[in-house]
Chain A
Amino acid sequence: MKKRNSIFAEIILSVWAGLIVLPLIWIVYVSLKTNYEFYLDPWALPESLQFSNYTNAITTLNLGPVFLNTIYFVFGGLILGVTVNTMAAYILTRLEWKGKKFILGVIMLSLFLPGINILVPQYVLAVFFKLNNSLTGLILLINVALSAFDILLMSSFMRSIPKELEESARMDGASLWIIFWKIIFPLSMPGIITISIFRFLNLYNDFINPFIYLTDPSKHTVAVSVYYANTVLRYTSNYVTLFAAIVVSLVPTLVVYAIFQKRVVAGATIGAVKG
């Protein structure tokens, strides 16, 4: 379609862009006001920039330890989940062995199941295996299990790796373990980056799991911590600090999106099959 848009069309596009961006900008500039200015007129720009709101947010909400927890939770989970599923994709798509079809079928079953009904029994099992109220436990619960989505995505990337590379390595006596790490893993990098970004976003943004499983405040991740901060700071009417905390919590996802925007968008369309 080579025809140019009418002015009306461009206005509609700009209005929607405004509706996405303006609330986010509003959070940022409120986070730089004093509470007094905020109550006087939530719209007005701040007289002077109150960066102290940020130091307040970091100290009153304990964001230091909270971020350490989050880094452990997100990167621990990411490394574990991506390694497990990359290796599983290799085994399930590039090796021939008895029982493969059956196991692949069992894994793909999860694409068909709605998943909402497992919330309660999964919690019972996690408590039974003592995975609750521990960051490590939650990492294991979420990331060790095979993920049909990751395996599908990885296998589509691995399909293009020529078989000859593997075969010649095997001639030279390399074990499957060596073949995986020396040949398959580096050549699957584009796929690994894609599933890593999605796992990062899912883990960083995950609210329900940490909310259910991490009852001890010293183990909270950013998402849960901001949720609880809302209830506390709302009653003390300290909104500017809350806004500062929200801005801080937004930065990592926005940075990752800014860097990997093309991959996120491309992966999201593939991810639609997950729905």
Chain B
Amino acid sequence: MNRIKKFLSDHPWIAKYSFVYGFLAIPLAFYLIFYLFPNILSVYYSFMKWSGLSDPKFIGLQNYTRLFNDPFFYRSLTHNFVLMLLVPIVTLSLALILAFFLARGQSKRHDLLQALFFVPNIISSVVIGLLWAFIYNGDFGLLNALFGLIGIDMDGFWWLGNTDTALLALVPVYVWVNVGFYTLIFTNAIKGIPDSLYESAILEGATEGQILRKIVIPMIMGVISVSALFLVLMTFRSYDLVLILTGGGPGGATQVVGLYMFSMVFQILGTAARTPSYGYASAIGIILFIILIVAKFIIDKLTKTDDIEF
């Protein structure tokens, strides 16, 4: 042991490289094998027919032709687009208003409110999913009870069990989870606007609404557009809340592409068991990959021109 120590202190170059590579080797190998290589592997599997049991069989582009003719895939994609459109609009409008009021308040109480708004971000998707399943419950849900208070009898109406309402019922869940984070981002941005910009508006007796529309929104437009794109990407990719809330049901009414891919390989409770289809799942994954990479390129272009500290 001492001889090794002496050897290493006599040869600092060897000591350094054995330290660097000796330490990095395993974490780097794990990263390459389990996080980078699967990207390549997913391309390979997308050309295969494979149930996970027998050997994979090369079938060329058949998974992709199946995908482009799969009504379930298109239906899921439509649902993704509905969520991608509605969730950011509602979330960001709400976050903007809340942030505006928080930034104007600037008291201890407002700091506390901000911390409170952030709470859904630290709760697990399982708890959020179950909580909202109870809110939408037909027998004892909070939402139907609220309708009851204003004299509308919705008893026995299952918001997540009805094909007409299930997809739209997902929107408030995403909004509830995400508003706090974007309120935080916007509050910081609004606090950065120099006071001098407001002075003339305040002197002229501008209302809160006018200040928000005419000064605040134009000043932080860069932050808003980047947030919108981040939220679009996040909504497009996410499926865990849907998995917990509805499992894609009823009858595929809330199926999203990520969950559709997931269900090709993994069993979701409450759905019929099917033979795993690794090849088809990978083809769906590749399509998702392409959509998300293109969207990311657009974001990078926009963030560069606007130089926002995100």
Q: Do A and B bind each other?
A: yes
Is B127's beta carbon under 8 Å from chain A? yes
Interface string of B11-44 (1 = CB under 8 A from A): 0000111011001101110111111111101100
Which residues of A (98-130) have their CB < 8 Å from a CB of B?
Answer: 103, 106-107, 109-110, 112-126, 129
Tell yes or no: A87 within 8 A of B by CB: yes
Q: Which of B31, B103, B121, B127 contacts A107 (CB 8 A)?
A: B31
Q: Across the two chains, which residue of chain A brings its CB closest to B46?
A: A117
- A107-B52 Cα distance, complex, nearest whole Å: 30
Q: Is the CB of B131 within 8 A of A145?
A: no
Q: Give residues of chain B (286-310) contacting chain A, Cβ–Cβ below 8 Å.
A: 286, 288-289, 292-293, 296, 310
**A23 beta carbon closer than 8 Å to chain B:** yes
Residues from chain A with Cβ under 8 Å of B270 in the complex: 231
Comparing A13-21, A50-58, A160-168, A187-195, the segment that makes contact with chain B is: A13-21
Task: Return chain A residues, CB-CB under 8 Å to B119.
Answer: 20, 24, 254, 257
How far, in whole Å, are A257 and B112 apart by their CA atoms in the complex? 13
Which residues from 64 to 103 on chain B have a C-beta closer than 8 Å to any C-beta of chain A?
94, 97-98, 101-103
* CA gap between A52 and B8 in the complex, in Å: 63
Q: Which residues of B contact A126 (CB under 8 A)?
A: 34
- Whose C-beta in chain A lies nearest to the C-beta of B9? A173
Q: Is A125's CB under 8 angstroms from B9's CB?
A: no
For B291, the closest partner residue in chain A by CB is: A114
**In the complex, how many angstroms separate the beta carbon of A160 from the nearest chain B beta carbon?**
18
Interface check B113, CB cutoff 8 A? yes
Q: Tell me how far the C-beta of B55 lies from the nearest C-beta in chain A, rounded to whole angstroms.
A: 13
Q: For B42, B103, B145, which residue has the most chain A Cβ atoms within 10 angstroms? A: B42
Question: Are B15 and A175 in contact (CB-based, < 8 A)?
Answer: yes
Most chain B CB inside 10 Å of its own CB: which residue of A4, A208, A275: A275
A169 in the interface, Cβ–Cβ < 8 Å?
Answer: no
- Contact pick for B121, options A8, A207, A224, A268, CB 8 Å: A268
Q: Which residues of A contact B30 (CB under 8 A)?
A: 140-141, 144-146
Q: Does B105 contact A (CB under 8 A)?
A: yes
Among A39, A120, A211, max chain B CB count under 10 A is at A120
B104 touching A3, Cβ below 8 Å: yes
Residues on B with beta carbons closer than 8 Å to the beta carbon of A211: 266
- A238 lies within 8 A of chain B by Cβ: no
Looking at the complex, which one of B9, B38, B104, B286 makes contact with A4 (CB distance below 8 Å)? B104
Is the beta-carbon distance between A21 and B288 smaller than 8 angstroms?
no
B53 CB within 8 Å of chain A? no
Determine whether the beta carbon of A20 is less than 8 Å from that of B116.
yes
Contact flag A6-B140 (CB < 8 Å), given A116-B237, A120-B278: no
B-contact 0/1 string along A216-260, CB 8 Å cutoff:
000000011011101100000001001000100110011011000
Q: Assess whether B24 is in contact with A88, with CB atoms less than 8 Å apart.
A: yes
- Decide if A152 is an interface residue (CB 8 Å cutoff): no
Q: Please tell me if the beta carbons of A12 and B101 are within 8 angstroms of each other in the complex.
A: yes
Q: Look across to chain B and name the residue whose beta carbon is closest to the beta carbon of A26.
A: B142
Residues of A within 8 A of B159 (CB): none
Q: Which residues of B contact A24 (CB under 8 A)?
A: 119, 131
Does B168 sit at the interface, judged by CB under 8 A? no
A250 to B33, CA, bound (A): 34
- Most B C-beta atoms less than 10 A away, residue of A4, A39, A42: A42
**Known contacts A1-B195, A144-B26; A275 and B41 CB within 8 A of each other:** no
Task: Report the separation of the CA atoms of residues A204 and B125 in the bound assembly, to the nearest whole angstrom.
Answer: 11
Instruction: Give Cα A108–Cα B20 distance, bound, in whole angstroms.
Output: 18
How far is A143 from B125 in the complex, measured between Cα atoms in Å? 20
Query: Are B296 and A112 closer than 8 Å at their CB atoms?
Result: yes
Residues in chain A near residue B116, CB distance under 8 A: 17, 20-21
Q: When chains A and B are docked, how far (Å) is the Cα of A206 from the Cα of B19? A: 33
CA distance A144 to B262 in the complex (A): 24
Chain A residue nearest in CB terms to B268: A211
Q: Say yes or no: B296 contacts A110, CB within 8 Å.
A: no
**Most interface-central of B130, B142, B234 (chain A CB within 10 A):** B130
Residues of B with C-beta under 8 A to A269: 184-185, 188
B179 and A145 form a contact (CB under 8 A): no
**Docked CA distance A26–B135 (Å):** 10
Q: Verify if B258 is at the interface (C-beta below 8 Å from A).
A: yes
Given A1-B103, A12-B97, A140-B30; A246-B184 close (CB under 8 Å): no
Candidates B28, B34, B123; contact of A141 at CB < 8 Å = B34
Task: Indicate whether A103 sits within 8 Å of B24 (C-beta atoms), given known contacts A4-B104, A120-B282, A212-B266.
Answer: yes
One of B103, B123, B131 near A205 (C-beta < 8 A):
B123
Given contacts A17-B113, A118-B42, A144-B26, contact A273 B310 (CB under 8 A): yes
17 extra A-B contacts, CB within 8 A, seeds A116-B292, A207-B125, A207-B126 = A1-B191, A3-B198, A12-B101, A91-B20, A119-B261, A120-B282, A121-B38, A122-B34, A175-B5, A207-B244, A239-B140, A249-B124, A249-B126, A261-B118, A265-B184, A268-B184, A272-B230
**Can you report 6 residue pairs joining A to B where beta carbons are below 8 Å apart?**
A1-B103, A20-B176, A114-B296, A120-B264, A264-B122, A275-B234
Give the interface of A toward B (CB within 8 A): 1-6, 8-10, 12-13, 16-17, 19-21, 23-24, 26-27, 38-39, 42-43, 84, 87-88, 91, 95, 97, 103, 106-107, 109-110, 112-126, 129, 140-141, 144-146, 173, 175-177, 201, 204-208, 211-212, 223-224, 226-228, 230-231, 239, 242, 246, 249-250, 253-254, 256-257, 261, 264-265, 268-269, 272-273, 275
**A-B pairs, 9 with minimum CB distance:** A117-B285, A205-B124, A114-B292, A118-B38, A121-B41, A121-B38, A145-B31, A145-B30, A42-B140
